Structure 1
Amino acid sequence: MKLYSVFFLLVIISSSAFAQKSLFNGKNLNGWHVDVPAMDKKPDTINPFIVRNGMLVSLGTPGGHLITDKIYKNYQLTVQYRFAGKPGNCGVLVHASTPRALYGMFPKSLEVQMQHKDAGDFWCIEEDITVPDMVTRRGPQEKWGVNGNKLRRIKNLTDDSEKPLGEWNTMVIQCLNNEVKVWVNDTLVNYGTNCTVNSGQIALQAEGSEVEFKQLDLKPIKALSM
């Protein structure tokens, strides 16, 4: 445990040498692009991703993703979000690559769930990750998988880390090499290793519920050798 603490401290110390930057400028969606299947046949379909009152908003429908133009590796992403109306579903996708790889909608990636009361779950989308107590948190091993009806959900460590509806939640996602750690409101809620991918784009979902984002800050990190 002490070695883990020291390693984590070294990661934080080394990250201070890199400048934090916002992925959202508060004015427009520069640096991002939209992938909404419904727009293919009907280009005048409403864009579910808008800027409102200085916040980035996912309207929830039609379903799709807002994806960064750039690819990122070894970083800490801080996201402040809240459900604007009824609680529901949304997510942050890390290490995203091939668009529409699953169900003609979801890009190949690892999803960090934001769904109400499930914040911090992992969902494997054509990528995979290993966590402690894997069978308990994912189900029978013979049913594991990364697509279709396989067991792709890996439950978080605690479902009581979210704040009451209407209040802002802070989610921190740390991606370092093949590890992914997630905190919700300062509580470590998930941690995985042996991720099958270690870089990619970052994406936000429109998946049925309106969600407001007021912070999307990214800081590159690098572990110091011991």
Structure 2
Amino acid sequence: MNYPRVSVVGLLALALTLNVKTIANTTNPEKPKKGKWETLFDGKSLTGWHIYLKAGQPVSDKWTVDDGAIHLVSGGAGDLVTDKEYGNFELEVEWKIAEGGNSGIIYHVHEDPKYKATYQTGPEMQVLDNERHPDAKQGRDGNRTAGALYDLQKPITPGAAKPAGEWNKAKLVVNNGKAEQYLNGKKTAEYPTSGPEWDKMVAESKFKGWDGFGKYATGHIALQDHGNKVWYRNIRIREL
């Protein structure tokens, strides 16, 4: 039987190609796929949400659906939280605050009766009317202004928020012990969610000594009732 001739050069080229592919597969493993986007608000109802510490009960009539947005009509309702808990995720949401208003987007909220409020466990991305609410001038270096990691870190990009009454687009990415916050396409915060640097930030904030604050790697997403009118819409999340 006759066999086709294979040149030495051809064999060397084949071996080199196989070796390169092996190295590439070893040094550049395929990244895990991100989850699919999940809508957290359908624009019509508050299905999938409940008042903090009141799961299974009717949502307060102070949290309403108004023209495709979740609307806090007046204070005293309690914070609205997702039924589901999330660990690593990318969250997108649009918000609009009334003049002089204050609210917040809080994550990794641990729902337990020993914690009377969502902010006792969860870090907060501030929602605020910077021009009129006194919080904007309190804290340190603007760390209580809209888009900031509330009372923990001054904004990387100050002044990213639009005025009261206008829609702002926020994004929050939490993944493998790190978090990034964006407002209207501008990065406003970047920080570790645990470890020495995080502990130092907490120790220098109003949360110093708070049992449970920032201690949970999974939890609910909360929309804060701070007593002022606020609107949220186009809320979606994907797990990472």
**TM norm structure 1:** 0.68
In structure 1, what residue type is equivalent to 2:174?
C
> Match of 1:143?
none
> Match of 1:208?
227
> For 2:108, what is the secondary structure of its paired residue?
strand
> Match of 2:176?
177
Q: Does 1:120 align with 2:147?
A: yes
In structure 2, what residue type is equivalent to 1:166?
G
State the identity %.
25
Map 1:1-226; keep pairs closer than 5 Å. Answer: 17-35=34-52, 47-62=61-76, 64-83=78-97, 85-99=98-112, 104-106=116-118, 107-117=120-130, 118-123=145-150, 153-195=152-194, 196-221=215-240
Tell me, which stretches of 5 or more residues in structure 1 are unaligned? 1-9, 38-42, 124-151, 222-226
Q: CA deviation at 1:14?
A: 5.7
- How far apart, CA to CA, are the structure 1 residues paired with 2:114 and 2:186? 32
| Cα distance change, pair 100–121 in 1 and its aligned pair in 2 (3 A) | farther
> For 1:72, what is the secondary structure of its paired residue?
coil
> Match of 2:141?
none
Tell me, which stretches of 5 or more residues in structure 2 are unaligned? 1-27, 131-144, 195-214
| Length, aligned pairs only | 174
- How far apart, CA to CA, are the structure 1 residues paired with 2:53 and 2:66? 20
The answer on whether the counterparts of 1:176 and 1:198 sit within 8 Å (CA) in structure 2 is: no
* Structure with higher RCO (Cα < 8 A, 6+ apart): 1
In structure 2, what residue type is equivalent to 1:20?
W
> For 2:84, what is the secondary structure of its paired residue?
coil
In structure 1, what residue type is equivalent to 2:216?
V
The answer on whether the counterparts of 2:107 and 2:122 sit within 8 Å (CA) in structure 1 is: yes
Bigger strand fraction: 1
In structure 1, what residue type is equivalent to 2:44?
K
**TM norm structure 2:** 0.64
| Cα distance change, pair 66–55 in 1 and its aligned pair in 2 (3 A) | same
- How far apart, CA to CA, are the structure 2 residues paired with 1:86 and 1:174? 28
Backbone CA RMSD of aligned residues: 2.8
Q: CA deviation at 1:214?
A: 1.7
- How far apart, CA to CA, are the structure 1 residues paired with 2:193 and 2:180? 12
- How far apart, CA to CA, are the structure 2 residues paired with 1:73 and 1:121? 20
Q: Which runs of 4+ in 1 moved over 6 A?
A: none
Q: CA deviation at 1:210?
A: 0.8
Q: CA deviation at 1:99?
A: 4.3
Post-superposition CA distance 1:113-166 (Å, at most 9, x none)? 11223112224xxxxxxxxxxxxxxxxxxxxxxxxxxxx543322331011332
